[in-house]
Structure 1
Amino acid sequence: MTPINRILLVDDDAVTNLMHTRIIRKSGKAAHIDVATDGLQALELIKSDLAAARALPELVFLDINMPRMGGFEFLEEYAKLGLPVGEQLIIVMLSTSLLHADHARAEADPHVHSFSDKPLRTEKLLEVIAEYQRLHGRGADAA
């Protein structure tokens, strides 16, 4: 499986971001890792990439509860960007929330690939990267 270019971590917890960064680096499956501490910062990063015609992060691991702009608010604003289907990011919501309503809301959002409990585990990371590569024709044999 070839590495992807960028992963964006969106979480207000510094320890969680550090732990997830280590898991991703240890996997060797991403060339770059960006970190945003809330949905607004993540949205600004994506808009900046679009304005500069830079490649967007392929994967986003998104927390639900954050200051300024939480995960669900981020999703609402992300939808307004109107990215073509081929350019849309794979977004995985990560949360410690036990609320069924949060799980159901995430699963109902067309921009959310999946919902997973924190912390991010290596198996989930590899599963999502493999799915991204399958969807974009970059399977294990692609160079």
Structure 2
Amino acid sequence: MTTAAPEPAIETVLLVDDDKVTNLMHGRLIKRTGLIGQIDVATDGVAALDYLQARSDAGDAWPELILLDINMPRMDGFEFLEHYAQLPEEVRCARTLIIMLSTSVLRADHERAEADPNVHAFVSKPVQSAHIEAFVTACQARRGP
């Protein structure tokens, strides 16, 4: 007798980081939790905005969780947030939870991330299983009943 795999708690996460090793580590960690169905990757803020636009154009739901690195080429995490905030309210998804990730120890980076209304939390890399579980719980709370 085979048992069907349980449905993931949330459908999609978008990893926005230019470091392939970090994306691989976070992807494996997310898969091990079994809490998230699909893992998509963008290597900088421009690619992330293009990804979100393509999903909107196709009528697809946005990811419920975005893990956003600060330091990336072309467009860093803070620049992404500036562009994200400019998107029309009807385009931005209120259910999308953005978590800012970094190895930065600069207090200014922490404060800037925490001051942004689109950022749910600032977490030092690497992300741990407990973080993923907490992020998923927060996504489910945003979804509502």
TM-score for the superposition, normalised by structure 2: 0.90
In structure 2, how many angstroms separate the alpha carbons of the residues matched to 1:40 and 1:49? 14
- Identify which range, 75-84 or 6-15, moves more after superposition: 75-84
Query: Residue 116 and residue 16 in structure 1: after superposition, are their counterparts in 2 closer, same or farther (change >3 A)?
Result: same
Query: Whose Rg is larger?
Result: 2
1:127-138 alignment, distance < 5 Å: 127-137=134-144
Q: Note if contact 2:9-2:140 (Cα within 8 Å) is conserved in structure 1.
A: no
Q: For residues 32-72 of structure 1, what are the alpha-carbon distances to aligned partners after superposition, in whole Å with 9 as ceiling and x for unaligned?
A: 00001101101100011111111000000000000000000
Equivalent residue for 1:101? 108
Identity %: 51
Gap regions ≥5 residues in structure 1: 139-143
3-state SS of 2:66 partner: strand
Equivalent residue for 2:46? 40
In structure 2, how many angstroms separate the alpha carbons of the residues matched to 1:53 and 1:34? 17
Q: How far apart are residue 25 of structure 1 and its match?
A: 0.4
Q: Note if contact 2:81-2:118 (Cα within 8 Å) is conserved in structure 1.
A: yes
In structure 2, how many angstroms separate the alpha carbons of the residues matched to 1:36 and 1:65? 13
Equivalent residue for 2:85? 79
Query: Residue 86 and residue 69 in structure 1: after superposition, are their counterparts in 2 closer, same or farther (change >3 A)?
Result: closer
1:22 to 2:8 alignment: no
Query: Residue 128 and residue 39 in structure 1: after superposition, are their counterparts in 2 closer, same or farther (change >3 A)?
Result: same
Question: How many positions carry a matched residue from both structures?
Answer: 138
Equivalent residue for 2:121? 114
In structure 2, how many angstroms separate the alpha carbons of the residues matched to 1:84 and 1:30? 25
1:123 to 2:130 alignment: yes
3-state SS of 2:104 partner: coil
In structure 1, how many angstroms separate the alpha carbons of the residues matched to 2:92 and 2:25? 30
TM-score for the superposition, normalised by structure 1: 0.92
- Identify which range, 10-19 or 45-54, moves more after superposition: 45-54
User: RMSD of aligned C-alpha atoms?
Assistant: 1.6
Gap regions ≥5 residues in structure 2: 1-6
Q: How far apart are residue 5 of structure 1 and its match?
A: 0.6
Q: How far apart are residue 87 of structure 1 and its match?
A: 2.2
Q: For residues 84-103 of structure 1, what are the alpha-carbon distances to aligned partners after superposition, in whole Å with 9 as ceiling and x for unaligned?
A: 49823100001000000000
Superposition misfits of 4+ residues, deviation over 6 angstroms: none
